[in-house]
Each structure stands twice: as C-alpha cells, then as structure tokens.
Amino acid sequence: MSGAPVIAIEGVTKAFGDREVLKGIDLEIAEHEAVALIGASGSGKSTLLRCIDLLVDIDDGDILLDGEVVTDPSISAVAVRRKLGFVFQAYNLFPHLNVLDNVTLGLSKGTGMSAAEADESARKMLARFGLEGREKESSSNLSGGQQQRVAIARAFAARPRAMLLDEVTSALDPELVGEVLRAVRDLKEEGVTMLIATHEMSFAREVADRVGFLHEGRLAEVGPPEQVLESPRDPNTQKFLRRLLEAGRA
Amino acid sequence: MEANAAKADRRAERAAARRRRDRRGIAIAALSTIVVIGGLAALVLTSAGWPAVRETFFNATVFKESFPDVAKAFWLDIRVFMVVEVAVLALGLIVALVRTSVSPAMFPVRLLAIVYTDIFRGIPTILLVYLVGFGIPALANSGAEGSSSLSWLPTEPVVLGAIALTLSYGAYVSEVYRAGLRSVHPGQRDAALAVGLTERQAMRHVVIPQAVRNVGPPLLNDFISLQKDVALISIIGVTGEAFQVAQIQASSGFNYTPLLCAALLYLAVTIPLARMLDRWDRGRVR
C-alpha cells in the first residue's frame, strides 16, 4: 500500500490565547513509517500529537487520516480516536481499574467487542509486553516502566492505524527507560506507523525512519536521522543538538 | 572476634535502652491518665450538685424503663436515614453533574442547579423541615374541601420530613461531589477519550468512579451529620421518632434520662461511622 500517507498534517496552526504553539506544520507519515519529533520542551511536540488525536482543536489547516480530513467538525472525533493509539508521558492509567481492565475498557466500550473477546485480546496484548501474570494487580503496584508498558498495550490493543507516543520515557527513572523503549522497538519491528515525540536522541536515531526538529512551533528540519542528528542544516537544530551534547544526553 | 563481641554487646545494650524508654513512656502515660481522669472524676462525683445531676440525667431506673421504647423508636430514625441517604447520594450526583456540564443546551438546567445549591445550603435545615412539613400539607388542603388541584401532594409527616432533609443535604452533597469531579486529573479524561470512549462513557467509567472514591471521607462526614439531623423531623409531628419519644418521657417526669438514652443511640451509630472515616482517611494517606 503505497497510496495516501496514513497521517497527513497540512498547515496546522494552534494558539492557546496569545501563545502560538503551532505556526503552520506540514508533515506526512507513510504506512509503516516511524517519525520522531525532537525539540525543546514547549516547542509544540505534545500539542501536535494531541491535535492529531483530536484531544485539542486546531485553529487552521487540516489533518488527514488515510486521506480523509478528520479536523472537519462534522467528523466524529470518537471514531477517529478509535483508529489511533495514544501513549501519554505520565501513563495516565486508570487508577481505579486493575491492569487488565485498563486494557479491556476501550476494547469493550470503545470498539464494542464482547467481554470475553476483549478479555482474551487484552491478555494477549499484556503478555506481548511482558506483563503476563500482572493482570489482576492494581496499576499503582507496578513500576513506572511496567505502567508505561500497560499504557502501550492499552493504546495498541485495538490495533490502531497509527500510534502517537508523547514523551513516553521522560517520566521514568533512567534504569526503567530501556524496557519501554524495547516495547516501542517491538512495535516498529511489526511495522506499526508511529509518530514519536521524544527526548531520547539515540532512540530516535535507532527507531525512526525520519526525524523532525520542531522549533518554536515550526518544523525547522525533517530528514533521515543520520542527516538531522549528525549534520543538521538548520542553525536552531545545530544549537539544540550542541546543548544536548554538552549535557551528555545525545 | 573481640571487636564482633563488643559490637553484639552494644547492639544488645541499644535494644535494652529502647525497651527501657518504651516502658517508661507507657508508665508515664498511664500515671498521667489516672491522675487527670481520676482527679476530674473525683471532683465531679464529690461536688455538692452531683447527686442532683445523677438523679436528673443518669437515673438507672428511668433508664431501664425508657430505653426499650426509645430504642424501638430509633428504628424509625434509622429507616428514614437510610432512605434519605440514598436519595441524597443520587440527587447530589445529578446536581453536581449538571453543574459541571459544559453543553450550551444545559445552560438553564445549570442555572437551576446553581440556584438550588445556593438556596438550600443557605437555609437552616430546621427551617426547611418546618417549611416543607407544614407548607406542603397547607397547599394540599388549599381551596374548597377535596377540590384542591394540589391535593395529590404528600401530607404524611415522615415523607415530608424526608423530602426536606433530602433537599437540604442534597445541596451539600452535590458540592462534595463537584469537588470530587474537579479532583480527577484532566489526563484521565484524555486517556478515556484516547482509548475510544465517548464523553459520556469517559464520565461514567473513568471520571465519576474516581471522583466518588476521592470524596468518600467528606461524604461519610455528611452521613454522620444527616444521621443526627433525622431527629429534626419530630418538630413537624412525626410520631414514634426516638427524640420525640424521649422528649415526651422526659417532660412527663421532669427526668431527662430518656434523652440520654436517645443520645446514646445516636452515638452508637455516629461513633462507628466516625472511626470508619478515620480508618478510610489513614488508608488513603498510606
């Protein structure tokens, strides 16, 4: 399927009050492609992801999912969100539900699966991310890394067209980052289309097919990881990467 | 080897010192309790007025005579309490949901909900009980005999009392719920929407369960308050209610021990509830 990109972002702008967060973003993500978004905090990475999942209303431009404009107000946001998986920086697991129910809630209420089907596919999904045997536990008993893997299983359980990952490792203790990245790598190997906002440069280099550098609400540079991360053309990308290098984070 | 032995000695000594300190603490607490409580008791029991106080409030004979009647009447309090509590929980949640709704179509209902909480929280419960308890039967009986268009209104004092208590406590409890709804992190709603739930499903399956859990202790606190305010329905002529029965017995003999019976019965419900509340709060902090 080399037709329309899975996600197409066309001239998207968004302001919160006077603060322009996105100032005209254009980006296409092809089937099976993983695009990493890098950039300083506040550069608009999260807002862009939230706009795609229709958690935030855009001001101008269009977002297309499989060639269909989804930012048309007449389109059901619920139907669009069911085709996308979103993983939050702070996991946002449902604390009143156990691990298994965190995954089945969307399956049974959202996609209308029967309880038995939802149960079975949630168990499989949890096992896939190394959480077998933890199904009945409260999510608060889990480590941050395990919680984020539950969140990934929850987002991926309904087999979305694309996964949107919002800084999925930045709330984690350093020793727990690896297991979450492994889960994302696993998705990449399966050819899942992904848009990944991240601070982990080495991870962006390894997993992403393309890297986009977001600077003050604009995509300053998009290209293959080796180009953007090794020999950036944009002066702001150069500055950003130099600062990361100085901090020992690249 | 010697160094190890010395270490073991020191460890034993430290443990012994800790034990001595603990024992001393217990001894001091016990002694001070005996001195303070005993002193107070001695002061009260030896005072000149004590026999009169005991006779009026703690009369064993009167207690034995009145307790069965008051206890039987207390059953009505419990039933009213339970029915009103369920009604209050439902009404409060509905009002809170209306007040936190954002849809423009809900605007008039939202306005009504705000007016309701403002008014009914601001009126003394006793006044409300009086107003409903006497006002509604007056409406039902207005106009010519049997021809009133409002004759369908309830006139049973217990029902009216329960309605008044529900209206009063519903306003309080809706505010408790509203605080609970606000306390749920917005990320929870986002996550619920992201997994494909509708706004309504997100509310029902994710936000409300957490909101209710977050306000458990303040809700229980309002239960305790409601449980004792059930006594207010006696002022509109509800017969067979614990406070009313105790009051009649007390006024017939100028001995107030029956009221003490009623007080003990109220405490028998409210104190366990208060302890439950403490435990709940502790569990949440942990």
CA B280/CA B216 separation, integer angstroms: 8
Token duo for residue A159: 């087999």
Query: What is the nearest CA distance from A109 to chain B, expressed in angstroms?
Result: 6
Could you say which residues from 12 to 51 on chain A have a Cβ atom under 8 Å away from some Cβ of chain B? 50
Beta pairing partners, A13: A23, A60
Find, in chain A, the residue whose alpha carbon is nearest to that of B207. Answer: A94
CB contact under 8 A, B193 and A55: yes
Query: What is the nearest CA distance from A110 to chain B, expressed in angstroms?
Result: 5
CB contact under 8 A, B191 and A95: no
Q: Is the predicted ipTM greater than 0.90, yes or no?
A: yes
Q: State whether residue A53 is helix, strand or coil.
A: coil
Find, in chain A, the residue whose alpha carbon is nearest to that of B201. Answer: A109
- pLDDT tens figures, B38-69: 999 999 988 888 888 888 888 888 888 888 88
Among the partner-chain residues A86, A94, A158, the one whose CB lies closest to the CB of B188 is A94
**What are the residue boundaries of the structural domains of chain B, listed by start?**
1-46, 59-285
- pLDDT tens figures, A196-232: 999 888 889 989 999 999 999 999 999 999 999 988 9
Pairing of strands A7-16, A19-29: antiparallel
Residue B236 has pLDDT above 90, yes or no: no
Residue bearing the bigger pLDDT, B111 or A111? B111
Confidence bin at B110 (pLDDT 50/70/90):
very high
Q: What is the pLDDT averaged over residues A156-179?
A: 92
Q: State whether residue A66 is helix, strand or coil.
A: coil
Report the predicted TM-score, pTM, of the whole model to 2 decimal places.
0.82
Q: How many CB pairs under 8 A join A and B?
A: 63
CB contact under 8 A, B210 and A53: no
Could you say which residues from 36 to 95 on chain B have a Cβ atom under 8 Å away from some Cβ of chain A? none
Question: What DSSP state is assigned to residue A23?
Answer: E
**CB of B276 within 8 Å of any CB in chain A?**
no
Q: What order do you get walking across the sheet with A68-69 strand by strand?
A: A19-29, A7-16, A60-65, A68-69
CB contact under 8 A, A92 and B195: no
Tell me if A85 sits within 8 A of A164, measured CB to CB.
yes
Find, in chain A, the residue whose alpha carbon is nearest to that of B186. Answer: A92
CATH of region B59-285: 1.10.3720.10
Q: Distances from the Cα of A107 to the Cαs of A1, A19, A81, A238, in angstroms?
A: 27, 37, 13, 44
**CB of A94 within 8 Å of any CB in chain B?**
yes
Residue bearing the bigger pLDDT, B268 or B284? B268
Residue bearing the bigger pLDDT, A245 or B187? B187
**CB of B191 within 8 Å of any CB in chain A?**
yes
* Unique residue bearing structure tokens 């104190």: B271
